[in-house]
Amino acid sequence: MTPVADLSKTLDLSILKDKSAIVTGGASGLGALIAASLAENGACVTIADINENAGRDFIAACNAKGLNLNYVSTDVTEWRSQVTAFKSAINFSSHEAIDIVVACAGVEGRAFTAPDEEPPSLGKDPPLPRTADANFNVNAKGVYYTSKLAQHYFALPPSPRTKATPTYRKCLVVISSLAGYLELNSADYTACKWAVRGLFRSARSVMEDLGYRMNLIAPWIMDTPMSKDFAEWCRQNGIPVGEADDVTSAVIRCAADETIRGRALAIGAIETFDLRDDLEGLNAGITMKEYLEGEAKKLMELQGQRV
């Protein structure tokens, strides 16, 4: 793990040229923006997404621009499906390897309680919470699978097609959320984002010891297709909303700057900053106290939480 990331550092994006990347959830939303940006900087990108129509349309549009992208229909909740996606990405690359993995597949959540819940009755069993299974399967288990496969396939020996001794320090980026640092009402989603944070805290030193990099991205509320309605509600209530392009820029920075290792970056509505999610930063306590007193304050108050 390295010191606090220098986010003002000028990037040499040429390092991404010919790198092999896989982005889960890359057919739309944040994943599509990240995949396109990697490809625009010369990477060979595979998107792994369950939405076949969106995936194929996105690939066709990117290929028409001369970008090098590949699509694999993937259910991130199924181990074998992700294995197939990783193998496809390796075969699609110019050097039979994986250099960059972005775990971006996700689904939205639901409040722990809702106005339309049926009253309790011994004569009728309560229904399964609407989004719980999908959330834990996609947002937690799926990210764990992606991370484990990144660690596994990063270790592939160099291919005969590799023209030079590889020196790039391979990179895994997991997309969590500031919900993994706050107490939000969307309990299933929030629980999963805390789980991703826990995975990151546990695995980053292991990845470091193996010679790889693992970083976490924690966006605030972003104006994306998945969170469009919530973002609009926030605007109506005077809560600042972030820009998806800032998330993309943070992922590209993690991929291109090999000095960023084991860091968690928050993408707020106003700025991107290192969360200092380590002992020195009191496990992000210092930065999150400041954040809760700033742009997150109104949302917490509207949820009935004291800041």
List residues with catalytic annotation: 176, 189, 193
Please give the span between the terminal C-alpha atoms of the chain, in angstroms, as a whole number: 31
Q: Which of 204, 206, 224, 210 is nearest to 265 (CA)?
A: 204
Judge contact between 198 and 144, C-beta under 8 A: no
Q: How many helices (H) and strands (E) does the chain have?
A: 10, 8
What single-letter DSSP state applies at residue 77? T
How far is the C-alpha of 99 from the C-alpha of 79, rounded, in Å? Answer: 20
| DSSP calls for 144-213 | HHHHHHHHHHHTPPPPTT--S------EEEEE--GGGTS--S-HHHHHHHHHHHHHHHHHHHHHHHTT-E
